[in-house]
């Protein structure tokens, strides 16, 4: 069996090399992203593994079919950039890594929130300038707040545990109820109710498709004055301009954004010294009440190792047994 792994970062390479040795399977490591040109390198291989934020172009799958390759394994969870129609047309199966480390993302949600609640962004900037004054950066305590968790999949459940550990009152919303969260009586009936009752709303939902935002001008109007939004899910869950305006007008007291609707091509690139063309992003970066980070909630050694190895395990399952627990239903 010969596999080719695309878009590999240096921090992933050792885990892939180790897996290859342990499993005695040849894996060609390629730093190029997967596109209709780079797919040429896959000729002669049995399976393609990849991770990228850019869309997977349909032409990739025509070529895979031509080369007799019928499995694509992703090293990440999100499949919003994969055209299912093109996969189906070419009889290609897709796997993802649904659970590489829910706690990595859940811990980041609370990390970002604590940075905001304790005014760390502006405090760190002040101390950098040798300004050691306390005021006006007085903090708020998490144990006094109601945290609304939107989405109670694995990540949402991990977030609930952590927020409860801080003593916060937790409420939750999801279309699909989890037994344990149900038993604890945490569910509210609607997302609107969650938004209305929460001091902090943390989003752990998948993308709902372009234009289907959960945080926008209308929904913000129904939120508590001074509420905070934390997003470690997908950027397109939020109308970012509406959110920014609400922070500036002080309807909301802040936001933690690890994802951003226009992040592709910017996050995880070095723009040191450049003037950002994206004015909204630039404004948010300079606002002390908005914590922006470049989609790093997942980025821990545990998660990166799991993404690298689970994607390869799934590929082997598909090629050896014709199925994997991580196969995505394309219908």
Residue listed under structure tokens 């509210």: 188
**Cα Rg, the chain, nearest whole Å:** 21
Residue 70: active-site member: no
Calculate the dihedral angle through the C-alpha atoms of 5, 11, 304, 97, rounding to the nearest 10 degrees.
-10
Residue 263 annotated in active site:
yes
Angle, alpha carbons 289-290-295 (nearest 5°): 155
Bridge partner residues of 198 (DSSP) = none
Sheet holding 227-231, edge to edge: 169-173, 146-150, 200-203, 227-231, 252-257, 290-292
Spot the catalytic one: 12, 70, 204, 263.
263
Task: Report d(CA 271, CA 275) in Å as an integer.
Answer: 8
DSSP calls for 274-329: PPPS-HHHHHHHT-TTEEE-SS-TT-SHHHHHHHHHHHHHHHHHHHHHS--TTB--
Choose one: 73-81, 182-190, 213-221, 321-329; the region binding ligand COI (CB under 6 A): 73-81
Structure tokens belonging to residue 36:
């209709």
Q: What is the closest distance, in whole angstroms, from the C-beta atom of residue 7 to ligand COI in the complex?
A: 10
The yes or no reply on residue 305 touching ligand COI (CB under 6 A) is: no
Pick 77 or 281: Cβ nearer ligand COI: 77
Q: Which of 70, 154, 295, 305 binds ligand COI (CB under 6 A)?
A: 295
Closer by beta carbon to ligand COI, 187 or else 299: 299
**Residues 185-214 close enough to bind ligand COI by CB under 6 A:** none
**Closest CB to ligand COI among residues 76, 216:** 76
**Contact stretch for ligand COI (CB under 6 A) within 72-80, 87-95, 167-175, 317-325:** 72-80
Token pair for residue 85? Answer: 């129609």
- Catalytic residue status for 234: yes
Site residues for ligand COI, window 33-52 (CB under 6 A)? Answer: 51
Q: Is the torsion defined by CA of 120, 121, 125, 126 positive or negative?
A: negative
Of the residues 12, 234, 261, 318, which is catalytic?
234
Q: Residue 319 corresponds to which tokens in the numbers above? A: 């090629």
Question: Quick check: 298 binds ligand COI (CB under 6 A)?
Answer: yes
Residue (119 or 298) nearer to ligand COI, CB: 298
Please, which of residues 77-96 interact with ligand COI by CB under 6 A? 77-78
Residues serving a catalytic function are 234, 263, 295
Contact residues: ligand COI, CB under 6 A: 51, 76-78, 295, 298
């Amino acid at each position: 069996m010969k596999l080719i792994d695309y878009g590999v970062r240096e921090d992933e390479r050792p885990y892939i090399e180790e897996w290859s040795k342990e499993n005695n399977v040849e894996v060609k490591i390629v730093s190029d992203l997967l596109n209709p040109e780079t797919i040429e390198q896959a000729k002669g291989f049995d399976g393609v593994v990849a991770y990228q934020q850019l869309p997977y172009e349909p032409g990739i799958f025509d070529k895979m079919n031509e080369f007799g390759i019928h499995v694509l394994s992703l090293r990440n969870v999100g499949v919003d950039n994969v055209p299912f129609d093109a996969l189906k047309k070419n009889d290609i199966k897709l796997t993802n890594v649904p659970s590489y480390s829910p706690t990595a993302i859940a811990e980041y949600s609370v990390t970002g929130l604590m940075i905001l609640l304790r005014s760390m962004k502006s405090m760190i900037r002040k101390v950098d300038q040798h300004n050691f004054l306390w005021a006006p950066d007085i903090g708020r305590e998490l144990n006094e707040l109601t945290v609304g968790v939107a989405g109670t999949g694995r990540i949402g459940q991990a977030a609930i545990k952590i927020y409860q550990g801080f003593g916060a009152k937790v409420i939750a919303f999801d279309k699909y109820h989890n037994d344990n969260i149900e038993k604890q009586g945490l569910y509210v009936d609607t997302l609107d109710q969650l938004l209305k009752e929460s001091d902090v709303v943390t989003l752990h939902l998948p993308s709902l498709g372009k234009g289907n935002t959960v945080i926008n001008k209308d929904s913000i109007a129904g939120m508590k004055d001074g509420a905070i939004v934390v997003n470690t899910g997908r950027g397109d869950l939020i109308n970012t301009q509406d959110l920014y305006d609400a922070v500036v007008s002080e309807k909301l007291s802040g936001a933690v954004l690890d994802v951003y609707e226009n992040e592709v091509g910017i996050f995880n690139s070095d723009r040191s010294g450049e003037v950002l063309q994206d004015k909204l992003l630039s404004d948010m970066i300079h606002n002390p009440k908005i914590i922006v980070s470049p989609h790093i909630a997942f980025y821990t050694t545990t998660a990166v190792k799991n993404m690298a190895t689970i994607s390869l395990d799934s590929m082997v399952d598909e090629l050896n047994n014709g199925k994997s627990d991580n196969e995505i239903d394309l219908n």
